[in-house]
Structure 1
């Protein structure tokens, strides 16, 4: 069963906290157990040596043992879990804890054994005895046997320490789990809220509502990138939707005018209002040519954009090509009072000459249409690295900033008047871009409304 991101994150944080506490507790108990075991063994040996030294000091200069002091030491040792037996050099018993109080000795051993069995179910501990020689002035004066529960044991204080440690670890575990749940819920909310908003936005997009945007900000790089991508997708789809609507309107407009003209002329001739003379038929023929030209442009554009159009590439001088095209336009520019200048030098390029001519002619035609009298058009050709750069800059009416991103779209026209003076159906620049893309080149435009426009075409030099 699928769970929400918030639930999964909360459970993950809790699981990590539980595993961490269990691992820490396990490692602490293992590490502490080893260290404690080593400490108790060393501590036991230290106590034995201290006891041997203390008993040795009870041997007087007159070679008589201080029985009362030895007894006091022995009784105190029993309370610490040590059963001692002191013998002189002749193996005669001076003091024996078992003889003094055998019941208490057994009770202490059983108590230690019970303590150890609580923590070590498979404990191999047992009662052990060690014998030590007692020296006085480098002479052996007796023997001391020390019995204890070995190889190590935990005293009541040691047991209390271990119990307290485990209780504290348990409390820390509960607090950590509680804290992990709080942090998990908080992080889950921080991460899931923008994602949930993105999900709702994508659902709206799938239902055709593109104006919905995700306004939440996230400090997580990937989520912030996801939000940005969804917003860009929505904006792109909204723009495409608007472009499709506008394209449908433009196609209808471009086809309606010649068809309406044809219809009216033919109806007039059918009704006998007009005679089907040569002039009338030529007018109808021109409208048919106009429609056919529009259909042909659409077909060409589709071939370019689909990549099914083959290019006939040759190596030629692009400067000479542009120069000839400008020469052909010279009369048109002169009649309109526009100065046109060409700068650059001979540059060879490997491209489809006819298609590149179509690009240059289209861009120069636009400059001619939208540049007023006494304006200027500057054309330059340069080569940087392995690219030919063609710039066509005019002092025309310019293009609004909101129109710039869409001027290479089909049927898009910044000039919405569509009058016969400016002409065009909004396909020319789309074809230009398709041709440049087909050459693996690039085209860019900069414009300031009322000041002019600059097109920059980049073509790879290429090779045979």
Structure 2
């Protein structure tokens, strides 16, 4: 059974239970109110009749006027409010009198009417001034319920029945509309996720709903957007890898073909050029391998306590000659810093950062490396001089194979994997890495590592 049918039956069952409960309560309340109404009306009629009889007794002096003509009692009761017959009192039989009333003497002896039974509920006194001259006895309201009372009850019961039928019809309609309203976005989500499973990441549902289903739709749309971005990034990743691998392979193939064709002699200079391309290709493959391991969380780390400032000095000393050849001034400001980390990976981090500045800083520029405490972290900052990085390129610097220049000129830099690997290393050490504009006019890389 589908969720729509389940919701429909759930809503319908709930509404039916509520209708039955409301109808039962209404019927119970109506019965109680009707009983009370009949009791009060009967009592008022009998009390009015007792007042009339008291006046007539005072005028006649005895009950002989009733004993000689019992029809008078019926006429008086009719005038007091009794309408339990379609025949007017003047047209009744002379012996016609209220069959449910009993006239008693002052000492409660039956005078007119049926003998009183144990079922009567009340005695109403008949008085003349302050003298008690008799009693009127009447049975419970079930025995005196007249035709008007029954007609009123029947009309109310019919109304309650029609109300229950209309409520049932409305319950069917509302249950169907509610089930459809609630299931419609679920059905749309099911179709949309089926498209996502098939690889269609372009479609968006869109929703203005402000409930949980609206949040779910927006989350699924966000998931589709992320999947679309991931697919495009994966395609770009494969394209960039193919491009980066194709370049050294093409150079190697060209050099070898030139040697085979005799265009270029096989000497030390040719072998050195081939070895340089092989070394570049090996470095690229190694970086790709490290990045793949880092993305999968399989890059091995051996954490130990070490002096980060000493590691920075070693890395700076290793690249200082290369900076000198490009006339780039390299300054350091390193405070003693004891951290828990992998010395090999942290050295790789420092080498990647320094090599990035070496490749992209103009000759005659400046690079400044600082290390100090910042709250609960060690902050390592690398600032270099021009050229700078556009604002829109800052968030992309840590992407795979991303380089600011679009020409893919290999002479101006590497494959664009150094910063991506560096960020994975920092994250593995529980730190963060950010890029921003440098006050020297170039790029500033900030690394924060926990104490």
Do both proteins adopt the same fold according to a TM-score greater than 0.5, normalized to the shorter chain? yes
**Cα deviation code 1:332-364 (max 9, x no counterpart):** 445545555555743332212332222122123
* Residue 349 (structure 1) aligned with residue 349 (structure 2): no
CA contact (8 A) 2:311 2:347 kept: yes
1:156 and 1:276, CA in 2 relative to 1: closer, same or farther beyond 3 A?
same
Q: Of 81, 94, 105, which aligns to 1:88?
A: 105
1:234 equivalenced with 2:224 (yes/no): yes
Could you say which residue in structure 2 is the equivalent of 1:445?
435
**Equivalent residue for 1:425?**
415
Correspondence for 1:291 among 281, 297, 307:
281
Tell me if the contact between 1:60 and 1:66 (Cα under 8 Å) persists in the aligned partners. Answer: no
- Aligned pair partner of 1:20 in 18, 21, 27: 18
User: Any gaps of 5 or more consecutive residues in structure 2?
Assistant: 67-71, 85-97
1:73 maps onto 2:65 in alignment: no
* Shift >6 Å, 4+ stretches: none
Cα distance change, pair 308–245 in 1 and its aligned pair in 2 (3 A): closer
- Change in Cα spacing, 1:219 to 1:377, as seen in structure 2 (3 Å) is farther
CA distance in 1, matches of 2:155, 2:379: 81
Cα contact 1:379–1:391 (8 A) shared by 2: yes
Distance 2:333 2:34 in 1: 92
Is contact 1:127-1:148 (8 Å) kept?
Answer: no
| Structure 1 residues without counterparts, runs of 5 or longer | 100-125
Q: Aligned runs of 1:118-197 on 2, under 5 Å?
A: 128-129=119-120, 132=123, 134=126, 140-147=132-139, 150=142, 154-173=145-164, 176=167, 191=182, 194-197=185-188
Once structures 1 and 2 are overlaid, which stretch shifts more, 415-424 or 59-68?
59-68
Task: Determine the structure 1 residue equivalent to 2:192.
Answer: 201
**Hey, what's the Cα distance between the residues in 1 that align with 2:167 and 2:106?**
63
1:460 counterpart = 2:450 = yes
* Conservation of the 8 A alpha-carbon contact between 1:127 and 1:149: no
Residue in 2 that maps onto 1:388: 378
Q: What is the Cα deviation at residue 431 of structure 1?
A: 1.4
Q: Distance in 2 between matches of 1:172 and 1:447?
A: 75
**Aligned residues, how many?**
429
Moved more, 242-251 or 189-198: 189-198
Question: 1: CA distance between counterparts of 2:364 and 2:154?
Answer: 100
Q: Post-superposition shift, 1:211?
A: 2.2
Taking structure 2 as the reference length, the TM-score comes to 0.76
Find the aligned partners of 1:336 and 1:383 in 2 and give their Cα distance. Answer: 31
Distance verdict in 2 for CA 1:458–1:181, change over 3 Å: farther
Report the Cα distance in structure 2 between the residues aligned to 1:419 and 1:131, rounded to whole angstroms. Answer: 115
Choose 157-166 or 424-433, whichever is displaced more: 157-166
User: Cα deviations across residues 236-259 of structure 1 (Å, max 9, x unaligned)?
Assistant: 222222222222222222222333
SS in 1 for 2:213: helix
Contact between 1:75 and 1:97, CA under 8 Å: does it hold in 2? no
Q: What RMSD in Å do the two structures reach over aligned CA positions?
A: 4.0
Cα distance change, pair 182–87 in 1 and its aligned pair in 2 (3 A): closer
Matches within 5 A, 1:276-315: 276-315=266-305
State whether residues 14 and 181 of structure 1, in contact with CA within 8 Å, keep that contact through their aligned partners in structure 2: yes
Q: Is the 8 A contact 2:308 2:339 kept in 1?
A: yes
Contact 1:128 1:149 in 2 (8 A): no
In 1, the alpha carbon distance for the partners of 2:264 and 2:255 equals 8
SS in structure 2 of the partner of residue 145 of structure 1: strand
Task: Report the secondary structure of 2:120's partner residue.
Answer: strand
Relative distance call for 1:135 and 1:169 in structure 2 (3 A) is: closer
* Contact 1:337-1:373 within 8 A present in 2 as well: yes
How far did residue 62 of structure 1 move?
7.8
With over 3 angstroms needed to count, the CA separation of the structure-2 counterparts of 1:130 and 1:252, relative to structure 1, is closer
- 1:24/1:395 Cα in 2 relative to 1: closer, same or farther (>3 Å)? farther
Verify the 8 A CA contact 2:102 2:136 in the aligned structure 1. Answer: yes
Following the alignment from structure 1 to structure 2, what is the Cα–Cα distance between the partners of residues 93 and 166? 39
Between 259-268 and 238-247, report the one with greater CA deviation. 259-268
What is the alpha-carbon distance in structure 2 between the residues aligned to residue 341 and residue 186 of structure 1?
A: 73
SS at match of 1:390: strand
Which residue does the alignment assign to 1:219?
209
- Displacement after TM superposition at 1:27 (Å): 1.8
Q: Give 3-state SS (helix, strand or coil) of 2:405's partner.
A: coil
1:34 & 1:147 partners in 2: Cα distance?
Answer: 18
